[in-house]
Chain A
Amino acid sequence: MNTQAHAEEAHAGASVGTNIGIWVGLVAITGLEVFLAYEELQPSVMLSILVVLSVVKAAMIMSFFMHLKYEKFSLVLLLIPAMIFCICMMLIFFFPEALGLLRMRPH
């Protein structure tokens, strides 16, 4: 019973207005990404920008819609550093071949 009460405490989330604002922001960033697709950037540049924007969108969804901003910070520490570490381990395989990408012609 004590644990039930504690489980329910953490439920002060964002207001309806904030959630709608986050949604508008997500749609706006999507629009920006679609616009950028037609700017004919180099693929490696385009990929980097898109990944950064997508990570921003992911952070918005996780913090507000998935409520992470209002959960105990120890949960964030449990989940996020491990994910980042594993993803970085995967990215290691971009190198050293990837350095050759900087010299490739655009396609």
Chain B
Amino acid sequence: MHDVKTDVALDSAWSGGKSPFAMGSKKLGMWLFIVSDTLTFSALLITYSYSRLTNPDWPRPFPINPAIIFSTTMTVVLLASSLTMVMAVMASQRNDRKKTVMWLVATMVGGLLFTGLHLTEWMNMIFKEHFTITGNPEGTPLFGAVFFGITGLHMTHVMIGVIYLGIVAVGYGRGKFSAEDVEVNGLYWHFVDLVWMFVFPLIYLMSVKY
């Protein structure tokens, strides 16, 4: 004899057997990490914004060429890599292994290009313009600490992301990782792009050399 109650499909979210938020634990874990890292960058950027507005001798070290052209190109490159990441996630959900790996590699290329351009810009700032982490010829030394600190932390996130992408590309290509792993990787990469959406205007565009 069946218990009548168990025959009825209890579709309430609280009746058990369902994942919270209808997602696996890896994806939820990545979201929670993203929230905490967002707060880290928010703390840095809000502190920077306050310093930028209250310091009367903040330098304006970014001429259109090369600084603004470089950094705008970097922004578009990172946005493009986000788009290729979206394509990779879509391909993984169609179980198209070859295309997924192709799009993941394209995303890595975007990340590496971003890092290369960024390091070139850093070298220009340090050696040609004499803007270092401890001082600069134009204004408050706080600029260097802020600029290299925040962009350096972001660049570290990009480099970690590129390594992460490589591991997932190889693993997914070999059939060891699933579409969920590609999606979780996507969340991290979009987060890195999102942070740059704040860093670029607040640090570069606020200190343009007219």
Contact = CB atoms under 8 A, between A and B. Distances in A.
Given A30-B75, A54-B201, A11 B93 contact: yes
B179 to A, nearest CB: 8
Instruction: State the majority secondary structure of interface residues on A.
Output: helix
Interface string B66-90: 0010001001100110110111011
Given A30-B76, A37-B68, A50-B201, A7 B24 contact: yes
B135 to A, nearest CB: 19
Interface residues of A, number: 56
A64 B2 CA distance: 45
Nearest to B197: A57
A11 B50 CA distance: 41
Interface stretch (B51-59, B143-151, B167-175): B51-59
A51 B30 CA distance: 25
A26 B79 contact: yes
B49 interface: yes
Interface string B19-45: 101111001000100010011001100
Shortest 10 CB-CB contacts between residues of A and residues of B: A37-B205, A50-B201, A75-B21, A3-B19, A57-B197, A37-B208, A65-B190, A2-B17, A90-B46, A66-B190
7 contacts: A7-B23, A23-B83, A30-B79, A34-B68, A65-B86, A97-B54, A105-B56
